[in-house]
């Protein structure tokens, strides 16, 4: 009998342990009542929306915000789709830029923010960012929260060990082009025997393809991914990097990628502004060992998100108050100073607080000017309904070559064939 | 009402003659008792199933238009290499996970049924720990153990001089990894099912066999397995149905490309392909068509399995 009891207790303990180990989902603060001063907010993980919500609650202590971090940006868009198709929608939702076109094409699912006052605000934001959340009928379904200006983060200690310069201006001079970037990588790998960058698909191709003037669609919305020479050039850079043997073959945001970053198994990672938070939280022990250089090619944008209000939201007014308070130029500047998400409101780009901001984690790099400079002179391109799927197939093709499985000569054609199957066109 | 008439004839004559009204009630009562299940099944099982067939005939944007296109989704599906790839992966993972799982469970059940086993309750109960562990937790832990550069398994392999194997990026590696997770999760449950029926076998038979000089292996072959046949058939059918619908494991092992399970869809199963099309690409119609195809596949394989295993059972009967 004793054994029986002991084993039951042990079992229960083991069960409890495994259960708690996996129930790490964050659900925000207290569940709000049905009063008009509360609203439900779906965001995604990794961008620390909670900090902004806390700021808001300090400003409006009588408002209850029920924040849910649904999952990754893609998972959040999936959950939103399901909810729009027939479920309980949140009052406010954060949508990543690549997922926007699908929703912008169906504006009837969202509150036209012009009816709440977006008309008076839209001039505050970068016009090309704003155009991506404006539907054909002119309705505005999203207010941009941030853009992903681009830079390259590199490890000064590892560069020093490889005999490369460590000063951020000198490092920027090492790679005016992607070819030069790959050459630098070869030098680094030859010297140290270690990988230069994390992977070819996101750190090279995804950066290069976001520096074009025309991407997967032409300005009138026709898909041109197969014929656009700019896409092909970016793809070839990806293939070249994949074959150069300079990558750790770790896909971004995987467990292996995090581990490699902690251990310094790669020295360089593409760093859109929102990536800085990811590096900080992934590898806190590497504080001060990083610095930021300009991206080959100089400018570009990767990412950025929008806040939208679903049509059937219970409390659109409360949600709008959050948007208009927190996403004003002053609000975005404040969020940038707290978390590093780059404002979409150019009026603050020359603000003293932004230009003088230095980040000790990245060797006091002037992150304000580095990222806003990368947005200047940016030529906006049209993001179409299948941009996300097209990009994914190109990424997969490069990863497959990097893994030593795909034929580099056929990779582009294979990717185009796969895209045609995927988007049915 | 027609469904009731056969029952009427089988009822004992006296009650029919005695009180017809009460008799009708009595005859209806069993249907009333089972009605709740069928009502709930109709609402949560049958209607969604039929609705899936309906949606499969449309180009159905969940947040936009629904355009009727007849069987276009199916013609497209059968010409879609990704669909056949998913079918191959599903069957491969199912075989790799079901066969070892049932074999391991058989052997374990036999060992746990041993009369002189100490701490039997502890061992029997601990079999269930993997089963009650969340699939997500299992998947995350296993994916880390099988990691190419920092995984425990590759570290051990490295000690004996075998180079790092990239399980997740290779087809067989990823299938094996998923199969290991499925076996890990289900072997205890299946073992307990087998054990429960083994315990119904009188001890005396085993004792007699051992008096006659049969060792443990012979007892296993000639006593345990024959007495387990009905429950083996049951577990084969249920693990077929479950095995063909594996979803969470492939979704979680490839964090970079969760919806395709790898850059070249090397471990994308049918359910994952369905999810990718329906909820990743927002093509509900196409996703529903995949669901219908999966339904047909599961019914076909389960029927085949059932026929084969009952045939074996019938033939082997003395």
The pLDDT tens digits of the residues spanning B34-52 come to 999 999 999 999 999 999 9
Which chain A positions have a beta carbon within 8 Å of B257's beta carbon? 251, 392, 396, 399
CA distance A72 to chain B (A): 11
Q: Which residue out of A18, A239, A420 would a mutagenesis test of the B interface target, given it has the greatest number of B Cβ atoms within 10 Å?
A: A18
* ipTM metric: 0.79
- When pLDDT is averaged across residues A41-70 and rounded to a whole number, the result is 88
pLDDT one-digit tens code per residue, A258-271: 999 999 999 999 99
Q: Which two tokens stand for residue B110?
A: 């036999």
Q: What is the pLDDT of residue A35?
A: 52
Asked whether the predicted pLDDT for residue B22 surpasses 80, the reply is: no
Q: Which residue out of B60, B118, B255, B276 would a mutagenesis test of the A interface target, given it has the greatest number of A Cβ atoms within 10 Å?
A: B255
pLDDT one-digit tens code per residue, A83-120: 998 888 999 999 998 889 889 989 999 999 999 999 88
Q: Which two tokens stand for residue A284?
A: 């806190």
Asked whether the predicted pLDDT for residue A29 surpasses 60, the reply is: no
Q: Which residue out of A3, A22, A70, A258 would a mutagenesis test of the B interface target, given it has the greatest number of B Cβ atoms within 10 Å?
A: A22
Q: What is the pLDDT of residue A26?
A: 36
Contact status, residue B212 vs residue B204, Cβ threshold 8 Å: no
A-B Cβ pairs (cutoff 8 Å, strict): 108
For A421, the closest of B81, B134, B149 (CB atoms) is B81
What are the start and end residues of each CATH 1.10.3720.10 domain in chain B? Answer: 72-316
- When pLDDT is averaged across residues B198-217 and rounded to a whole number, the result is 89
Rounded percentage of chain B residues whose pLDDT exceeds 90: 47
Distances (CA, A) of A371 to A146, A201, A354, B76, B160: 12, 22, 10, 45, 48
For A11, the closest of B126, B136, B148 (CB atoms) is B126
Judged by DSSP in three states, A243 sits in helix
Asked whether the predicted pLDDT for residue B94 surpasses 70, the reply is: yes
For A400, the closest of B137, B264, B283 (CB atoms) is B264
Q: Does A395 touch chain B if contact means CB atoms closer than 8 Å?
A: yes
Rounded percentage of chain B residues whose pLDDT exceeds 70: 91
- For A110, nearest residue in chain B (alpha carbons): B63
Q: Does B148 touch chain A if contact means CB atoms closer than 8 Å?
A: yes
Q: Does A34 touch chain B if contact means CB atoms closer than 8 Å?
A: no
Rounded distance, CA B280 to CA B23, Å?
A: 56
What domains are defined for chain A?
38-147+303-355 (3.40.190.10), 149-301+364-423 (3.40.190.10)
pLDDT one-digit tens code per residue, A308-354: 999 999 999 999 999 999 999 999 998 888 777 889 999 999 999 99
Confidence of residue A425 (pLDDT cuts 50, 70, 90): low
- For B278, nearest residue in chain A (alpha carbons): A78
Asked whether the predicted pLDDT for residue B10 surpasses 70, the reply is: no
Asked whether the predicted pLDDT for residue B3 surpasses 60, the reply is: no
Higher pLDDT, A342 or B315: A342
Confidence of residue A5 (pLDDT cuts 50, 70, 90): very low
Confidence of residue A252 (pLDDT cuts 50, 70, 90): confident
Cβ pair A7:B126 closer than 8 A: yes
Asked whether the predicted pLDDT for residue A148 surpasses 90, the reply is: no
**Eight-state DSSP code of residue B16:** H
Higher pLDDT, B96 or B116: B96
Q: Which residue out of B150, B257, B278 would a mutagenesis test of the A interface target, given it has the greatest number of A Cβ atoms within 10 Å?
A: B150
Contact status, residue B284 vs residue B48, Cβ threshold 8 Å: no
Q: Which residues contact B16 (CB under 8 A, 6 or more apart)?
A: B8, B23
Q: Does A356 touch chain B if contact means CB atoms closer than 8 Å?
A: no
Q: What is the pLDDT of residue B2?
A: 40
Cβ pair B82:A421 closer than 8 A: yes
Please state the CATH superfamily assignment of the domain spanning residues B72-316 in this structure.
MetI-like (1.10.3720.10)
Contact status, residue A303 vs residue A149, Cβ threshold 8 Å: no
Asked whether the predicted pLDDT for residue B129 surpasses 60, the reply is: yes
Asked whether the predicted pLDDT for residue B61 surpasses 50, the reply is: yes
Asked whether the predicted pLDDT for residue B62 surpasses 80, the reply is: yes
Average pLDDT, chain B: 86
Confidence of residue B316 (pLDDT cuts 50, 70, 90): low
Q: What is the pLDDT of residue B15?
A: 46
Asked whether the predicted pLDDT for residue A4 surpasses 60, the reply is: no
Cβ pair B119:A7 closer than 8 A: yes
Among A14-18, A127-131, A310-314, top mean pLDDT goes to: A310-314
Asked whether the predicted pLDDT for residue B97 surpasses 90, the reply is: yes
Q: Which residues contact A395 (CB under 8 A, 6 or more apart)?
A: A201, A202, A205, A206, B263
- For A6, nearest residue in chain B (alpha carbons): B122
- When pLDDT is averaged across residues B78-94 and rounded to a whole number, the result is 95
For residue A411, with 0-12 CB atoms within 10 Å meaning exposed, 13-18 middle and 19 or more buried, which class applies? buried
Rounded distance, CA A51 to CA A325, Å?
A: 14
Q: What is the pLDDT of residue A8?
A: 40
Q: What is the pLDDT of residue A219?
A: 87
Q: Which residues contact A309 (CB under 8 A, 6 or more apart)?
A: A91, A92, A93, A110, A111, A113, A116, A316, A319, A320, A323
Q: Does A384 touch chain B if contact means CB atoms closer than 8 Å?
A: no
Q: Which two tokens stand for residue B276?
A: 């990718």
Confidence of residue A9 (pLDDT cuts 50, 70, 90): very low
Of A65-69, A223-227, A230-234, A340-344, minimum mean pLDDT range: A340-344
Contact status, residue A209 vs residue A241, Cβ threshold 8 Å: no
Contact status, residue A286 vs residue A164, Cβ threshold 8 Å: no
pTM: 0.82
Q: What is the pLDDT of residue B21?
A: 58
Asked whether the predicted pLDDT for residue A18 surpasses 60, the reply is: no
Contact status, residue A9 vs residue A240, Cβ threshold 8 Å: no
For A18, the closest of B121, B134, B260 (CB atoms) is B134
């Amino acid at each position: 009998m004793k054994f029986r009891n002991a084993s039951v207790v042990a079992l229960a303990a083991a069960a409890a342990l495994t259960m708690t180990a996996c129930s790490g989902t964050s659900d925000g603060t207290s569940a709000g009542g049905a009063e008009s001063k509360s609203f439900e907010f779906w965001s995604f993980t990794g961008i620390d929306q909670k900090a902004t919500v806390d700021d808001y609650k300090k400003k409006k202590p009588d408002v209850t915000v029920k924040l849910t971090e649904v999952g990754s940006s893609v998972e959040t868009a999936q959950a939103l789709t399901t909810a729009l198709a027939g479920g309980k929608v949140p009052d406010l939702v954060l949508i990543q830029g690549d997922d926007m076109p699908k929703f912008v094409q169906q504006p009837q699912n969202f509150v036209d923010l012009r009816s709440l006052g977006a008309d008076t605000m839209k001039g505050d934001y970068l016009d090309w960012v704003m155009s991506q959340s404006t539907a054909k009928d002119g309705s505005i379904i999203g207010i941009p929260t941030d853009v992903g200006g681009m830079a390259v983060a590199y490890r000064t200690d590892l560069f020093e060990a490889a005999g490369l310069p460590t000063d951020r201006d000198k490092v920027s001079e090492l790679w005016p082009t992607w070819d030069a970037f790959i050459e630098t990588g070869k030098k680094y790998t030859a010297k140290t025997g270690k990988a230069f960058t994390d992977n070819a698909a996101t750190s090279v191709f995804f950066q290069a393809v976001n520096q074009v003037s025309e991407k997967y669609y032409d300005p009138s919305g026709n898909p041109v991914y197969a014929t656009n020479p700019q896409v092909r050039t970016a793809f070839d850079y990806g293939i070249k990097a994949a074959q150069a043997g300079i990558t750790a073959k770790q896909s971004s945001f995987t467990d292996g990628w995090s581990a490699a970053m902690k251990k310094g198994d790669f020295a360089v990672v593409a760093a859109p502004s929102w990536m800085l938070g990811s590096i900080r939280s992934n590898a806190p022990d590497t504080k001060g060992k990083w610095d930021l250089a300009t991206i080959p090619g100089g400018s570009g944008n990767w990412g950025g998100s929008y806040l939208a209000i679903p049509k059937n939201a219970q409390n659109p007014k409360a949600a709008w108050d959050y948007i208009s308070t927190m996403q004003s130029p002053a609000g975005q500047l404040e969020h940038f100073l707290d978390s590093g998400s780059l404002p979409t409101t150019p009026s603050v780009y020359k603000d003293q607080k932004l230009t003088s901001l230095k980040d000790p984690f990245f060797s006091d790099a002037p992150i304000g000017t580095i990222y806003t400079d990368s947005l200047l002179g940016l030529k906006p391109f049209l993001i179409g309904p299948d941009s996300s799927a097209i990009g994914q197939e190109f990424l997969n093709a490069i990863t497959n070559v990097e893994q030593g499985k795909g034929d580099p000569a056929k990779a582009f054609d294979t990717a185009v064939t796969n895209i045609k199957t995927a988007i049915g066109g | 009402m027609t469904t009731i008439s056969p029952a009427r004839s089988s009822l004992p004559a006296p009650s029919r003659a005695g009180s017809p009204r009460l008799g009708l009630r009595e005859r209806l009562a069993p249907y009333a008792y089972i009605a709740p299940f069928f009502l709930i099944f109709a609402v949560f099982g049958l209607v969604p199933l039929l609705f899936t067939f309906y949606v499969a005939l449309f180009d159905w944007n969940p947040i936009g238009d629904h355009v009727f296109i007849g069987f276009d989704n199916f013609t497209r599906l059968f010409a879609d290499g990704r669909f056949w790839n998913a079918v191959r992966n599903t069957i491969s993972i199912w075989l790799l996970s079901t066969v070892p799982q049932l074999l391991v469970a058989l052997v374990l059940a036999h060992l746990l049924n041993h009369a002189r086993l100490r701490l039997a309750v502890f061992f029997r109960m601990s079999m269930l720990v993997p089963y009650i562990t969340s699939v997500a937790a299992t998947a995350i832990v296993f994916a880390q153990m099988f990691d190419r550069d920092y995984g425990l398994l590759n570290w051990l392999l490295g000690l004996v001089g075998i180079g790092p194997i990239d399980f997740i990026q290779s087809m067989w590696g990823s299938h094996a990894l998923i199969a290991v997770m499925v076996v890990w999760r289900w072997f205890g449950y299946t073992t307990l099912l087998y054990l429960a029926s083994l315990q119904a076998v009188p001890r005396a038979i085993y004792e007699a066999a051992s008096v006659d000089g049969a060792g443990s292996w012979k007892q296993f072959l000639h006593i345990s397995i024959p007495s387990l046949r009905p429950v083996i058939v049951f577990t084969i059918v249920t693990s077929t149905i479950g095995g063909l619908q594996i979803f969470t494991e492939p979704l979680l092992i490839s964090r970079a490309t969760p919806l395709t399970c790898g850059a070249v869809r090397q471990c994308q199963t049918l359910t994952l392909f369905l999810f990718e099309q329906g909820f990743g690409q927002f093509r509900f119609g196409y996703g529903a068509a995949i669901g219908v195809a999966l339904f047909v596949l599961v019914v076909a394989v389960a029927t085949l399995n059932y026929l084969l295993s009952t045939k074996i059972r019938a033939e082997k009967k003395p």
